[in-house]
Amino acid sequence: MVIVAACTAARMEEISGCRVGDIDTARSIWTGRRQTTPAPGGLTDEGTKGERARKVPVVEEIRPLVAPCVLSAGKPR
């Protein structure tokens, strides 16, 4: 998680909010749409800090970390 954060300039909450459907493996782009934060009773998903989705390139250095996660998660529902 720390390596992905360093390579994408994303906050930990944004990385926690990432879903498999947010990653375009063909173009190597992650669209950050939400963040997961602690709330009473557990975790909750909220919009990003600026309330806008942002396109983040999945650089070559982190593709070996991201690819197995996407493959193991399967297709988005």
* pTM (global) more than 0.85: no
Count of structural domains within the chain? 1
What range does the domain containing 52 cover? 2-73
Per-residue pLDDT tens over the stretch 4-50: 889 999 889 999 999 989 999 899 999 999 999 999 999 999 987 77
Pairs from 52-56 (Cβ < 8 Å, separation ≥ 24): 55/29, 55/30, 55/31, 56/8, 56/9, 56/10, 56/29, 56/30, 56/31, 56/32
